[in-house]
């Protein structure tokens, strides 16, 4: 199996969830905070706007939660317009900000956020760092929330120094209207950069503001206009208000239409408690929706409760969830307790109690959700395509060569490193690598995901050659652990048979390289850091099992196998020794089945690149002294009673991940006995870089 991971992703949505009605993935779910804690709740995505081309170098995922009921209104403001005053009812952190007073000397970053919005809370450390970085250069970061003081102030106080910038509360939505509605922004978090002349010069996701601020301060930033508002699609006139709502809410451009349909639901279907409660529940929980109007869900749930002559526990459960997701935690707890009291089914009651505990003691989740990280990569890479900074994969291949490139490597380490320290340090150097190909539907992208690792601070990295097997891809990109997405501007050198590609990122500097050391010995303890099946930055360990010779297309290549786990998406991941040196790179897997004969074992489902996968017909152990043409078979080492030769019991697994549709497990010739994990030895990587490592 070539361990790339291919999925279908819609650029129009922010965070992914499995959709059983479609092969692959669609965006839908993100993390949401209530009362300062992270909870699962859907949000939507908005592309970065206001800057393109060289003005965008770090375009991150931008999951947005719906807050603006007028997001579908005609765009009234444009990039370059004077910034509207900040109408603030209460400043809850630092001194009040007067944009007019700062004209001529101050650059402002005004961000719209909420305490219940998970992506907003994830952006807080970034904005704090931005404020600290540019404080002495006349930059002021301002966070604007439309929440009540009782919800926002305790949250801000609890954050303390982690939220070290000015925070204000909108005065009756006036600031939201002047910015979010006026610039046609339909979700949070969204940041506005205001230059020293007092003009709005950029609108986008907060993590993209750094480069803009740098260029604004340097006087090199060139503002670009916002995209025109998208026209709403025509829907069937015969739809019920509920149907019309969910059709509109399923489209990125349908928010304004959904708002109007929601009003009709409450007025025309408001007499049916069961319909109202189901309507509210779908808004609160359906991961396929682009827009989730929690206040509307709360109104519907409350109306269902009030209209019920004998409310059931499920109606109270829905109302409790709506209360919780709109920040009314105490009321949510009280309502959930009532729901438990009305439930007479023991199994359901336990589920309701579990929900109650999550309201009473919300758990803060550390780190970025895998779905959010994937969304970050896809939206960032798509933005690079839009900004015309992408190099198509076919163009990369046309300009590359098999001649070694000259790279000064980091010196190898001789000091053992714990797994904890290795994870912390190596995560800074391991990349999420992938390509984007246009999907079947407009605005959809089909990513192929893999791993890679930095070997030079200028952005030179190593991955598998088979990752480039995407000739129709519009871009090859890589994302660091902190969410910075870079385009690959050049492939410096490749070695197809051992499955190696040395690539160069565009506009990268200061990255942390990993040292590459000569091959380790069989039996050595090893660790792998990679992205198996979108479980990003997974660390596994095992031993180096052996070296062997793989033969494909008449070419013999030395490979190594390990007991450390990896899977689809791990291609290009580094294999470490005990000192944190790279001694190999993930390439492929081979599955061995029992009871196979030569004719039945061929794997029609295999998507593996023959040059990158071990050929099961020749796996002579390098250390055993066996000749390359050895016919020693795998089954004889795994099962002494088996007479099947090596090729008959091995199955090269598909590299197509969730998108694979050719063949099923029922095609396999017998029971799965083991999976061989095969890697490229570091000696082959070193052959592609001609300069010696730096001396200690």
In terms of CATH architecture, what is 43-218? 3-Layer(aba) Sandwich (3.40)
**CATH class of the domain at 390-687:** mainly beta
| pLDDT score of 363 | 73
Query: What DSSP state is assigned to residue 24?
Result: S
In the prediction, which pLDDT does 691 show? 59
Q: Where, residue-wise, is CATH 3.40.30.10 in the chain? A: 43-218
pLDDT at 287: 75
Which residues, at least 6 apart from 531, have a Cβ–Cβ distance to it below 8 Å?
A: 5, 432, 449, 450, 451, 537, 538, 569, 570, 573
Distance CA 70, CA 606 (A): 50
Q: Which two tokens mark 481?
A: 């652990």
Beta bridge partners, 65, equal: 188
Listed in order, the ranges of the chain carrying CATH 2.40.10.120 are 390-687
So what's the pLDDT on residue 95?
92
| Contact yes or no for 378/9 (Cβ under 8 A) | yes
Q: What is the location of CATH 1.25.40.10 in the chain?
A: 241-360
For residue 253, give the nearest of 233, 273, 228, 234 by alpha carbon.
233
Using an 8 Å Cβ cutoff, are 541 and 419 in contact? yes
Least Cα distance to 116 among 45, 30, 32 occurs for: 32
Q: If DSSP codes are grouped into helix, strand and coil, which group holds residue 589?
A: strand
| Local structure of residue 474 (DSSP, 8 states) | S
What pLDDT score does 443 carry?
64
Distance (Å, whole) CA 12 – CA 27: 8
Give the number of other Cβ atoms within 10 Å of residue 480's Cβ: 21
pLDDT value of residue 388 = 93
- The predicted pLDDT at position 362 comes to 83
Mean pLDDT split into 10-residue runs, the chain, 696 residues:
43 26 28 29 32 34 34 64 94 94 94 86 90 93 91 89 94 90 84 95 90 94 80 54 87 78 88 89 85 90 90 93 92 95 92 94 72 86 92 94 91 96 96 89 79 97 95 94 94 95 95 93 97 95 95 88 95 97 94 62 34 34 35 32 36 36 43 89 91 57
Rounded to the nearest 5 degrees, what angle is found at the Cα of 9, between the Cα atoms of 7 and 15?
Answer: 110
Asked if residue 281 lies in contact with residue 42, where contact means CB atoms within 8 angstroms, the answer is no
Model pLDDT, residue 440 = 61
pLDDT reported for residue 254: 76
CA distances from 477 to 393, 472, 516 (A): 10, 14, 23
pLDDT at residue 73 in the model: 40
How many CA atoms, within 13 angstroms, populate the side-chain half-sphere of residue 515? 21
Is CATH 1.25.40.10 the right assignment for the domain spanning 241-360?
Answer: yes
Model pTM? Answer: 0.52
Rounded alpha-carbon distances, angstroms, from residue 403 to 687, 689, 690: 10, 9, 10
8 A C-beta contact, residue 64 and residue 190:
yes
Q: What is the pLDDT of residue 414?
A: 95
User: Can you give the length of the chain in residues?
Assistant: 696
Q: CA–CA separation, 21 vs 450, rounded Å? A: 25
């Amino acid at each position: 199996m070539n361990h790339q991971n291919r999925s279908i992703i819609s650029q129009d949505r922010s965070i992914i969830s499995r959709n059983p009605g479609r092969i692959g993935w669609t965006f839908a779910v993100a993390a949401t905070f209530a009362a300062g804690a992270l909870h699962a709740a859907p949000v939507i995505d908005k592309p970065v706007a206001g800057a393109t081309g060289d003005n965008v170098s770090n375009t991150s995922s931008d999951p947005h939660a719906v807050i603006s009921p007028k997001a579908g209104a005609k765009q009234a403001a444009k990039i370059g317009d004077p910034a509207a005053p900040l109408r603030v009812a209460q400043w809850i952190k630092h001194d009040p900000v007067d944009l007019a007073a700062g004209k001529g000397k101050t650059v402002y970053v005004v961000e719209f956020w909420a305490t219940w919005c998970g992506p907003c809370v994830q952006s807080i450390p970034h904005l704090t760092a931005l404020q600290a970085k540019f404080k002495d250069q006349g930059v002021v970061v301002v966070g604007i929330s439309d929440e009540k003081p009782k919800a926002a102030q305790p949250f801000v106080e609890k954050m303390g120094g982690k939220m070290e910038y000015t925070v204000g509360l909108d005065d009756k939505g006036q600031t939201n209207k002047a910015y979010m509605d006026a610039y046609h922004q339909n979700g949070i978090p969204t940041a506005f950069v205001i230059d020293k002349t007092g003009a709005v010069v950029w609108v986008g996701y907060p993590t993209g503001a750094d480069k803009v601020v740098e260029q604004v301060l340097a006087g090199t930033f060139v503002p670009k206009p916002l995209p025109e508002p998208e026209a709403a699609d025509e829907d069937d006139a015969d739809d019920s208000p509920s149907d019309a709502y969910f059709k509109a809410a399923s489209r990125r451009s349908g928010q304004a239409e959904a708002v109007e349909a929601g009003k009709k639901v409450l007025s025309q279907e408001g007499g049916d408690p069961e319909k109202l409660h189901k309507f509210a529940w779908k808004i609160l929980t359906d991961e396929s929706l682009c827009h989730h109007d929690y206040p509307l869900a709360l109104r519907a749930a409350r109306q269902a409760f009030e209209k019920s002559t004998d409310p059931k526990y499920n109606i109270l459960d829905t109302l409790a969830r709506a209360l919780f997701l709109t920040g009314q935690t105490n009321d949510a707890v009280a309502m959930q307790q009532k729901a438990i009291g009305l439930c007479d089914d023991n199994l359901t009651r336990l589920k309701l109690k579990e929900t109650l505990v999550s309201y009473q003691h919300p758990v803060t989740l550390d780190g970025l959700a895998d779905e959010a990280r994937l969304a970050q990569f896809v939206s960032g890479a798509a933005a690079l395509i839009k900004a015309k900074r992408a190099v198509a994969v076919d163009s990369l291949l046309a300009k590359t060569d098999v001649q070694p490139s000259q790279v000064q490597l980091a010196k190898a380490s001789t000091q053992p490193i714990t797994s904890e320290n290795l994870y912390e340090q190596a995560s800074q150097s391991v990349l999420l690598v992938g390509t984007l190909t246009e999907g079947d539907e407009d605005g959809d992208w089909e990513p192929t995901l893999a791993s890679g690792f930095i070997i030079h601070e200028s952005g030179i990295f190593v991955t598998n050659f088979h990752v480039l097997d995407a000739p129709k891809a519009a871009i090859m990109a890589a994302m660091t652990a902190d969410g910075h997405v870079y385009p690959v501007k050049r492939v410096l050198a490749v070695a197809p048979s051992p499955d190696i590609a040395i690539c160069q990122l565009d506009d990268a500097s200061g990255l942390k390289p990993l040292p590459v050391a000569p091959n380790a010995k069989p039996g050595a303890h090893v660790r792998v850091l990679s992205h198996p099946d979108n479980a990003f930055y997974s660390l596994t360990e095992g031993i180096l099992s052996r070296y062997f010779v793989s033969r494909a297309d008449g070419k013999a290549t030395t490979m190594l196998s390990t007991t450390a786990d990896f899977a689809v998406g791990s291609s290009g991941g580094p294999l470490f020794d005990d000192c944190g040196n790279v001694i190999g790179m993930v390439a492929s897997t081979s599955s061995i089945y029992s009871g196979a004969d030569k004719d039945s074992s061929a794997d029609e489902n295999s998507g593996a690149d023959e040059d990158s996968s071990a050929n099961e017909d020749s796996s002579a152990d390098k250390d055993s002294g066996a000749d390359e043409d050895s016919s020693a078979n795998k089954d004889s080492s795994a099962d002494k009673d088996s007479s099947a030769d090596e090729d008959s019991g091995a199955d090269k697994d598909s590299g197509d991940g969730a998108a694979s549709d050719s063949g099923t497990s029922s095609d396999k010739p017998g029971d799965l006995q083991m999976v061989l994990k095969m890697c490229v030895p570091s000696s082959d990587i070193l052959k592609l870089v001609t300069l010696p490592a730096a001396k200690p």
